[in-house]
């Protein structure tokens, strides 16, 4: 398995600050999620980043109990890994606890963005969730299907950076093409 050391090196890249910084520079685009998928043997790591606009429906602090309930529901939904990520059954993948990073109100950043139609607020916020799965039969892992478009209907597409046995590549997922085929 000559590809293993390469994979390990690429996975290690996830941990270095420059990679994190590169991720942070992704545009804030309503309707679009950014996903990183790294498959290394039986370990699958997924990072999902999406705007609060798509996940919650607004990007400011909740102003009343109804909005607080929407934030809670969104938190629950993004942590529901079984609905968001489905693996080839034969690969027997199990999830380790997902981690959600929601910026606090003070972290909401205003910056240039590519979308239009909501100049009513200046602060945008993104949610980031990391998932980790271990597959006991990784040779059977052929594809990962995402339920994110069903769970969060305002998401139109996801730009996916995949690192698997063939190296790194970019794919686009949509509601009608929500299956990421892996190369083993």
The Cα–Cα gap between 51 and 165 comes to 30
- Per CB under 5 A, does 124 bind Zn ion? yes
Of 15-23, 48-56, 135-143, 151-159, the segment contacting Zn ion by CB under 5 A is 48-56
Of 17-25, 116-124, 147-155, 159-167, the segment contacting Zn ion by CB under 5 A is 116-124
Smallest gap from Cβ 129 to Zn ion, in A, equals 17
The Cα–Cα gap between 107 and 85 comes to 28
Total H helices, total E strands in the chain: 6, 9
Residues near Zn ion (CB under 5 A), total: 2
CB nearer Zn ion, residue 113 or residue 169: 113
Cβ neighbourhood burial of 15 (10 Å; 0-12, 13-18, 19+): exposed
- Which three-class secondary structure string do you get for 127-140? EEEEEEEEECCHHH
Smallest gap from Cβ 31 to Zn ion, in A, equals 10
CB nearer Zn ion, residue 121 or residue 169: 121
The Cα–Cα gap between 46 and 38 comes to 6
CB nearer Zn ion, residue 49 or residue 124: 124
Interface positions with Zn ion (CB under 5 A): 53, 124
């Amino acid at each position: 398995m000559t590809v293993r050391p390469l994979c390990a090196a690429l996975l290690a890249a996830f941990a270095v600050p420059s990679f994190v910084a590169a991720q942070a520079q992704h545009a804030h685009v309503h309707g679009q999620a950014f996903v990183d998928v790294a498959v290394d043997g039986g370990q699958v790591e997924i990072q999902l980043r999406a705007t609060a606009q798509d996940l919650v429906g607004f990007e400011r602090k909740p102003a009343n109990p109804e909005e607080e309930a929407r934030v809670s529901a969104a938190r629950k939904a993004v942590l529901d890994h079984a609905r968001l990520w489905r693996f080839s059954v034969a690969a027997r993948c199990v999830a380790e606890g997902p981690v959600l990073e929601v910026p606090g109100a003070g972290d909401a950043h205003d910056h240039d963005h590519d979308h239009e139609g909501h100049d009513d607020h200046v602060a945008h916020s993104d949610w980031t969730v990391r998932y980790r799965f271990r597959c006991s039969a990784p040779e059977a892992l052929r594809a990962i299907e995402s339920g994110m478009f069903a769970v969060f209907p305002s998401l139109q597409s996801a730009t996916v950076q995949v690192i698997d046995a063939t190296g790194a590549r970019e794919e686009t997922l949509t509601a009608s093409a929500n299956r990421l085929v892996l190369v083993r």
